[in-house]
Amino acid sequence: MTLLTSEITSWIGRSEPPIKAEVTRRDIIKYAIATEQVRQTYLDGDKAPPMFAFGLFRPVVPLTGLGPDGLAPMGATPELPLKRIMAGGTRMTVHRQIYPGQILVGTRTIRNIYEKEGKQGPLIFLEIEMRITTEAGEPVMEEVQTRIAR
């Protein structure tokens, strides 16, 4: 018996509206300091470290708006019958460097939802893809996060 209803699987392929974000030298410097970068080019804000884009499109929320994992809500996702959510990994492909002054566009899409049987019961896997491009549509990076519900 599957836990995935047609309502849940109908979310596969759904995208949120694209979000534009300006990359600032100040944001790069703050990120570089917070993540203890050692390359001077990052500390000077001349270019962004590879993981910089992870937080670029996340909402800024008060502490009370953070989830149990300490992160802001991920965006629109289906209501799942299993409620305990765990990180299942991240895959990232970088196409080009990020520089201050760029306007980037991020689009989040539910790529896949599937079920597996684990040692302690059923698991639901939710794959969410974030595509980041320049304003001209040139690829900057793709990130696929997997979340596991149990």
Least confident of 2-6, 97-101, 130-134: 2-6
Least confident of 7-21, 40-54, 64-78: 64-78
What's the confidence (pLDDT) of residue 29?
97
What's the confidence (pLDDT) of residue 136?
95
Going from the N-terminus, what domains does the chain have, and what CATH number goes with each? 6-149 (3.10.129.10)
CA 13 to the chain's CA centroid: 16
pLDDT digits (tens, 9 = 90+) for 52-82: 987 888 777 788 887 776 766 667 789 899 9
**pLDDT bucket at 43, cuts 50 / 70 / 90:** very high
What's the confidence (pLDDT) of residue 77?
86
Task: Work out the average pLDDT over 42-51.
Answer: 94
What's the confidence (pLDDT) of residue 23?
96
- Which residues, in sequence order, are CB contacts of 50 under 8 Å at separation 6+? 92, 94
Least confident of 27-41, 42-56, 70-84, 134-148: 70-84
pLDDT digits (tens, 9 = 90+) for 94-112: 999 999 999 999 999 999 9
Q: With a cut of 70, say whether residue 92 has pLDDT above it.
A: yes
Task: Work out the average pLDDT over 12-33.
Answer: 95
d(C-alpha 112, C-alpha 125), whole Å:
8
- Which residues, in sequence order, are CB contacts of 3 under 8 Å at separation 6+? 80, 81, 82, 115, 122, 124
- Cβ atoms within 10 A of the Cβ of 42, count? 20
Higher pLDDT, 65 or 9: 9
pTM of the prediction? Answer: 0.84
